[in-house]
Structure 1
Amino acid sequence: MAALTVSISERSVVLGEHVIPGRWLRDHGDDIDSLNPDSKQRLTDTFGIDPQIAPAAVHVDGAWLSVDWSDGVRTGHDLDRLLAVASSRRSLWPRTGSGFTLPAGVDLWDSPAEATWFDFGVLDDDAAWTEALDHLRRFGWAAFDGAELGEESTMRLAKRIGYPRASIFGTVWNMNSGSFEHQDSAYESFALDVHTDGTYSHDGPGTIVFAQQLKTGEGGDSVLVDGFAAARDFQAQNPEAADLLTRYAVTAHYVEPGVHLVAERPPLRVDEHGTLVQVSFNNYDRSPVLPDEGLVDDVIDAYNGFRAVFNDSSRALVHPWQPGRVLVFDNWRCFHGRTGFSGERRFKGCYTNHEDLEGAYRVAGLI
């Protein structure tokens, strides 16, 4: 690398001709405390960063930039990657109109109702299945009890919606705590912030099916949040920021040996009619993309502001688990996470496509 001039200007780091706002840079470290070195998933507490954060000192060692921050933290940055990002700043997507409307015929919820459990036997009764399917359509989720253990129950539910979707995890996959079959935070035991899956996929999974096989210890409940209700409330609070999130594409990635997936879409994706069709938000998998000059604070404020709305614990619907229970939810609508846990936790899981979910609604006469 040719000699590069590095300096501090107010709350920014200057790399040659590039001015990198400190608020953005503090969130995009490549050191082992900021980024998992294997999965490249984010470890930094994005939402705890002081908006007034400032660099106190900078040091370059070869292709590595170290920054000491006003909060006492030191981050490290791959200069080649940082310069590539700084040279490809992100602008807003053009759109006709502004804001968004909500889909018709759904029941938005901003506080949790008591969980409704359908007997898994409804899959064998068309009328009863239609009732469960309508619950999924209206609320974004449906929960079942009494399923037989093993892969077949997961397959049966997926086939009632469409067909199991093959992904990097397989068709029907095992999600067993501590197994680390894939380099993903889902296999850890710590609490997971609510998020959507497949932000690194051009066509994110339409539904997610989880079926518990084994549970020991405490905790590990699933948490659901209605993303459409959160988007509605965020737009009411800050329409300009909500509109920005329909026009600013966030890039995400999935990395493991032999695999490197990348996709991008706005956190609030609207169709050509201005109707919200998908929420997409996973801070663990978010890639480093630097907004255009003049957009950095607006983008960060909008991103953090939306997260503050949907991460409010009063919105969370908690699903306690035991073997034989199955949960399916709309990954384009609901955020999901989990509480931390001890002991062992084993699941079968699979994805289905959203067009198949919509097709199931049409076949049942629900839309």
Structure 2
Amino acid sequence: MLRSAIHDASVVTVEFDTGTQARFHAIWLRDNALDPDTRAPGNGQRLITIGDIPADVSVSTADVINGDLSVTFQPEGKTATFPADWLADHVYDCDRAQDTGRIAPGITTWERGIGAPSGDWTEVHAKPAAKRDWLAAVAEFGFAKLTGGPTEPESLLKVADLFGYVRETNYGPYFEVRTEVNPTNLAYTGLGLQAHTDNPYRDPVPTLQILYCLENSAEGGDSIVVDGFRAAEKLRDQNPEGFALLTGYPARFEYKGSDGVWLRSRRPMIELSPDGELVGIRFNNRSSAPFVDVPFDQMEAYYAAYRQLGEIIDDPAMGVSFKLEPGESFIVDNTRVLHARLGYSGAGSRWLQGCYADKDGLLSTLAAMEMAQPEAAE
């Protein structure tokens, strides 16, 4: 509820029943009006362009009516109502965190010892609350397992169906992870793999990866996941100058392992939003191309920071390890969580299938379920 509103031609100042105040510009309020001439009923999409709003837009009246804000704009003579709760959710007249490398709200960084968040295949498919909790774990921690699934090939596609769609690449809708003769990618060998994010040579990268186990009787081959955001936090705290180098200059990544494919990207290893929030990690020793965008006098320090980040990532205290059993899978946020594999022997068999998907689908599904929380909890 609102207690009061005062205004001049360009700004409306409101006081909420909590005693807090917030200012809103006339142009902002007009652009965000909620009436059916401005926003499409049903989907809420905006029906006007910025050019449709008069450049000299101003506020002629601003009143509190039944606890909400009623504003009349000139020269249109248009009146719009803004619910108090809506205004409270969209306040921008406030101090905002500007710490470089900060973590977004709702994300929890971790190291070894947290235990792998997990969901049960049957429950996640049958119970909305279980599905919501599993999706929420992926959003918060950047990874989660799924246990008790079928062992038929292509079962991983049903994991993606829980929240979105498979992102097809040059590897196909999905790919096989098992030993091959003359492999096109080192993932298709029994070699151990350093913790890495997948496909850093794409722009944009696939934001989710699913790995699904069909057979795993070989000795070794444990999966390891590492929180790249926690690694970045450690580098930021231990070596602020090195952190600034890895965020301030683009690295280069490249893949051309099969005919007709030459993928390249130019992005920082540690990516920040314009206001300093940590938004992504690209780290993959196999796919790094020569760094040519770092000034000569910064290159040695850049490499020192790169080495230090690698040492943090390789620290056994950073990783959560587990050996997938047939019918088990795990999903990682490929913009954040690195995954690794211990080497495995030629005896027995190890067969996983992998695919990519997009995080926006997962976050959209989760947000819709949280909005309908009473139904999701049934």
TM-score, normalization: structure 2? Answer: 0.68
Matches within 5 A, 1:26-175: 99-121=100-122, 122-175=124-177
Structure 2 CA distance for partners of 1:263 and 1:98, relative to 1, 3 Å = farther
**Aligned match of 2:229:** 228
Match 1:330 to one of 320, 330, 333: 333
1:273-307 CA distance string (max 9 Å, x none): 21111111101100112332201111101111111
Name the amino acid aligned to 1:149.
Answer: T
Shift of 1:157: 1.0
| 8 Å contact from structure 1 (residues 209, 327) kept in 2 | yes
Question: Secondary structure at 1:143's aligned position in 2?
Answer: strand
Q: Please, which moves more after superposition, 103-112 or 323-332? A: 103-112
CA contact (8 A) 2:164 2:358 kept: yes
Q: 2:366 is matched with which residue?
A: 361
Which amino acid counterpart does residue 270 of structure 2 have in structure 1?
L
Q: Identity over the aligned pairs, expressed in percent?
A: 28
User: How far off its partner does 1:217 sit?
Assistant: 2.1
CA distance in 2: counterparts of 1:362 and 1:247, whole angstroms:
33
- State the SS of the aligned residue for 1:365: helix
Q: Measure the CA separation in 2 of the matches of 1:193 and 1:129.
A: 31
Q: For 2:265, give the aligned amino acid.
A: A
Please, what is the CA RMSD of the aligned residues?
1.9
In the alignment, the residues of structure 1 paired with residue 357 and residue 115 of structure 2 have an alpha-carbon distance, to the nearest angstrom, of 26
Q: Which residue of 1 aligns with 2:76?
A: none
- 1:123 deviation in Å? 2.1
Would you identify which runs of 4 or more consecutive aligned residues in structure 1 move more than 6 Å? none
2:323 maps to 1:302: no
In structure 2, relative to structure 1, the CA distance for the partners of 1:117 and 1:353 (3 Å cut) is: closer
Contact 2:252 2:266 in 1 (8 A): yes
> Quick one: which of 315, 330, 345 aligns to 1:312?
315
Aligned residue in 1 for 2:54? none
* Higher RCO (CA-CA < 8 Å; seq separation 6+): 1
Q: Is contact 2:117–2:137 with CA below 8 Å preserved after alignment?
A: no
8 Å Cα contact 1:227/1:335 also seen in 2: yes
Q: Relative to 1, partners in 2 of residues 1:152 and 1:126: Cα closer, same or farther, differing over 3 Å?
A: farther
Partner of 2:353: 348
1:354: how far off? 2.6
Distance (Å, rounded) in 1 between the aligned partners of 2:240 and 2:363: 29
Match in the other structure for 2:52: none
Number of paired residues? Answer: 270
Contact 1:249–1:266 (Cα < 8 Å) also in 2: yes
Amino acid paired to 2:331: V
The TM-score normalised by the length of structure 1 is 0.70
* Partner residue, 1:192: 193
* Structure ID, larger Rg: 2
In structure 1, what residue type is equivalent to 2:368? Answer: V
- Give the match's secondary structure for 1:235: helix
- Contact 1:149 1:213 (C-alpha < 8 Å) held by counterparts: yes
- Name the SS of the counterpart of 1:142 in structure 2: strand
Aligned mates of 2:173, 2:163 — CA distance in 1: 15
Q: Distance in 2 between matches of 1:146 and 1:250?
A: 40
- Whether 1:244 and 2:245 are equivalent positions in the alignment is yes
What is the alpha-carbon distance in structure 1 between the residues aligned to residue 275 and residue 295 of structure 2? 27
SS in 1 for 2:297: coil
Q: How much has 1:228 moved relative to structure 2?
A: 0.8
Aligned equivalents of 2:162, 2:99: Cα separation in 1: 37
User: Does the residue aligned with 1:233 lie in a helix, a strand or coil?
Assistant: helix
Return the offset for 1:272: 2.2
Q: Which residue identity is paired with 2:328? A: R
Distance in 1 separating the partners of 2:111 and 2:165? 31
Q: Deviations over 1:126-163 (max 9, x none)?
A: 11100111111111111011111224421111122210
Cα distance in 1 between the residues matched to 2:275 and 2:151: 43
Q: Deviation of residue 101 (structure 1)?
A: 1.3
Q: Which residue of 2 aligns with 1:293?
A: 296
AA partner of residue 325 (structure 1): E
Residue identity matched to 1:229 = R
Q: Report how far residue 168 of structure 1 moved.
A: 1.4
- Matched AA of 2:287: D
Aligned counterparts of 2:179 and 2:368: Cα–Cα separation in 1: 37
CA contact (8 A) 2:119 2:130 kept: no
1:315 aligned partner, one-letter code: M
